[in-house]
Amino acid sequence: MITDNAYVTILLCSYLGVNNGYYKPYTALQWSELGNKIINSKIGEPAKLLNMDKESIINSIKIREEEADRIVNLLSRGANIAFLLEDLSRKGISIVTRSDIEYPKKLKSTLKKYSPPILFYCGDLSLANKIGIGIVGSRNIDDEGIKFTQLLAKKAVEEKLVVFSGGAKGVDEISETTALNNQGYVVSILADSLSKKIMSKAIRDNILSGKQLLLTANNPDAPFSVANAMNRNKYIYALSNGTFVVASDYNKGGTWAGAVENIKKGWVNTFVWNNNKYIGNTELIKKGGVGIEDLNNISIKELISNKVKRMDQLNIFDFDKTDKRVPFERENIIGENEDEYSSSDYDVYNKAINLMLNLLKEPKSIEEVTASLNITKSQAITWINRALNEGKIIKTNRPVRYVVNNE
């Protein structure tokens, strides 16, 4: 189940259901700043924002009117979000937020306030906390580069290390395929199109066997963008215990930018294939990358051992100590026993009812409920009938209206 704190994080930080007229969701840094204000205020946690008006928000967390408007505006799309979340769940796509205990610890402890507030994923999320290496490089790679990538991925599997990569063509795809073909484990950190990626039968099979995790900080249907790709590279480094650059252009491209940023920030060691055919590789070594020439006589575990990050530090917005997410289920993957899916594990009504009760403080018709919540008439009827059965609302006649049952 998605907790109220996680639900507010999704409303305020995701682009799900954001159309013209909505404020832009909060970035990672903006959410960190707002979160600190919330936890140091009298309300203590984001969940309390769900039942607050603008004036109460301003007075409680001491923010400017413009920011309170932004919060109220983003929270107002709750009914739409509920449907979108249910649709994602049916596809086998889950969400974890920075305040959830399942959120990858190393990502949070490495990037701190820059760690993404929300991650969409498909597969066994615990793979993101395993010891492993990142493998990155150009999309266009020659035969020698392919062989080096394959040897590196195979050696990682032999040493029981997870392979973290970016799911793109070239080095990413080669390293992931090699690891999986050798019975290894892979975490693919995507920059775009998670929804399309999981349409592949091969990927679905890998997910169902527990061998592959797909992860993205972007909306599952988001198209490719340079900004998203740059952030994706950052997450590969932050999740790994050392990342290997197979091939890089010089002073351009995502591989170069990601490696330079990691060298500067010192998150983990940047290992670089010392092959002078790639000018970018040579220059990265000059900047502080660790040159690697021969993989045959080295231990990857020994190479990364000096930069293994602690997994138990810095829990940003650790609101939900007892939250237990419903585990990944075989039937929640696309095309697998879709008819067996049960919404009992993900009850959207429980998230939408407060919005509806707030609306029905004054008598409303079915049509008014439909328009106000921006939902279909059949959905409005379903929710109203359920609320009637639970005694939360009552029906009046002549004309037919529905209103909160104050008794």
Question: Please, what sign has the CA dihedral across residues 72, 99, 375, 395?
Answer: negative
pLDDT at 306: 67
127 vs 87, 105, 158, 161, CA distance in Å?
Answer: 24, 11, 17, 10
pLDDT score for 307: 52
- Phi, psi (rounded to 5 degrees) for 156: -60, -45
C-alpha span between 99 and 103 (Å, rounded): 7
* Ramachandran category for residue 21: left, alpha or beta (phi over 0 → left; psi -120 to 50 → alpha): left
Tokens (6 digits) for 230: 């740059």
Structure tokens at 348: 């959207």
Distances (CA, A) of 188 to 163, 191, 202, 215, 269: 8, 10, 14, 6, 20
Tell me which residue of 86, 25, 76 sits closest to 373, measured CA to CA: 76
Domains assigned to the chain: 4-91 (no CATH), 105-307 (3.40.50.450), 347-404 (1.10.10.10)
Cβ-based burial of 293 (10 A; exposed 0-12, middle 13-18, buried ≥19):
exposed
CB 28 within 8 A of CB 115: yes
Bridging pattern class, strands 118-122 and 132-136: unpaired
Phi-psi group of 53: left, alpha or beta (phi > 0 → left; psi -120 to 50 → alpha; rest → beta): beta
Instruction: Give the global pTM.
Output: 0.77
Helix (H) or strand (E) holding 10: helix 4-13
Parallel, antiparallel or unpaired: strands 94-97 and 186-190: unpaired
Longest dimension (CA), the chain: 86
> In the block, which residue shows the tokens 């220059």?
283
Cα 12 from Cα 81, distance rounded (Å): 11
Helices (H), 40-142: 54-61, 65-75, 78-91, 105-111
Can you list the residues of the chain whose pLDDT is less than 50?
Answer: 308-316, 320-346
Residue-wise pLDDT tens digits, 243-275: 999 999 999 999 999 999 999 999 999 999 999
DSSP 101: T
User: Would strands 118-122 and 94-97 be described as parallel, antiparallel, or unpaired?
Assistant: antiparallel
Using an 8 Å Cβ cutoff, are 15 and 219 in contact?
A: yes
- Residue pair 297/261 in contact (Cβ under 8 Å)? The answer is no
In this predicted structure, what is the pLDDT of residue 121? 97
Residue type, 127: L
Q: Residue 114: what pLDDT?
A: 94
C-alpha dist (Å) from residue 344 to 267, 347, 348: 41, 6, 9
152 to 149, 177, 204, 270, 294: CA distances (angstroms): 5, 12, 25, 14, 10
